[in-house]
Amino acid sequence: MSAINVYGQAKEKLSEIDLDDRIFGSDVKDHLIHDVVRMQMARKRRGSASTKTRSMVRGGGAKPWRQKGTGRARAGTIRSPLWRGGGVVFGPHPRKHDLAIPKKVRKGALRSALSLRNKGGKLWVIRDLEFGEIKTKRFIQFLETFGLNDALIVLDKEDINVERSARNVTGIKVLRVEGLNVYDILSHENLVLVEKAVQRIQEVL
């Protein structure tokens, strides 16, 4: 177990919390992170690219010219892949790009990502993050207090006031703890966790 400071919204130290070294202090395994990020990016692909084969292209029912005697190459349809406006050979068709990654690998990658931020001194724990109203200006003041301009903020529960206050702030993303993932952790320089979110993470991982 290693301890980390718990701060208030004004960056005053309130207490300390013990972090499980198996989650926040484990070895950073790059190959696990790579596999999971690749999986997440693949799942974002729509896979809707589509082309028509020669059988799907409209027209071409009649033979363009007779088989012999014209001096030209024989042709059976104007929709041949060799012709302009014809079908496409081996073109893309709608498909899924999903990759199957075992649950143990996904959890291992998440532990590595959390450990990477903790070891780099880019992990912050705050007691709570409650504004009482939707106010972007107040949210920006909170960020300036901690010197954050690129951060992933993880809440322990739904909080519309915080989520909407941060919606238009560049470089900031707010997630609920159940949506925590490797790609978003690595996409932001800092990781800010609400104290109760830390407890939820340690229970799951």
- Give domain limits for the chain: 2-28+100-204
Domain 2-28+100-204 has CATH 3.40.190.290: no
Q: How many CB atoms lie within 10 A of CB 91?
A: 12
Q: pLDDT band at 132, cuts 50/70/90?
A: confident
Contact 149, 171 (CB under 8 A): yes
Q: pLDDT band at 114, cuts 50/70/90?
A: very high
2, pLDDT greater than 90: no
Would you say the pTM of this structure is higher than 0.75? Answer: yes
Mean pLDDT within 105-127: 96
> Which percentage of the chain shows pLDDT scores above 70?
100
Q: What is the spatial distance between Cα 122 and Cα 188, in angstroms, rounded to a whole number?
A: 10
pLDDT at 130: 86
Phi-psi category of 188—alpha, beta or left, where left has phi over 0 and alpha has psi -120 to 50? beta
Contact 64, 75 (CB under 8 A): yes
Burial of 189: CB neighbours in 10 Å, binned 0-12, 13-18, 19+: middle
pLDDT in tens, 149-194: 999 999 999 999 999 999 999 999 999 999 999 999 999 999 999 9
Q: pLDDT band at 108, cuts 50/70/90?
A: very high
Phi-psi category of 143—alpha, beta or left, where left has phi over 0 and alpha has psi -120 to 50? alpha
Q: pLDDT band at 64, cuts 50/70/90?
A: very high
pLDDT in tens, 14-44: 999 999 999 999 999 999 999 999 999 999 9
Q: Is the dihedral of CA 42, 45, 46, 50 positive or negative?
A: negative
pLDDT in tens, 69-83: 999 999 999 999 999
**Which residues are bridge partners to 124 per DSSP?**
192
Q: Which residues contact 116 (CB under 8 A, 6 or more apart)?
A: 28, 185, 186
pLDDT at 190: 97
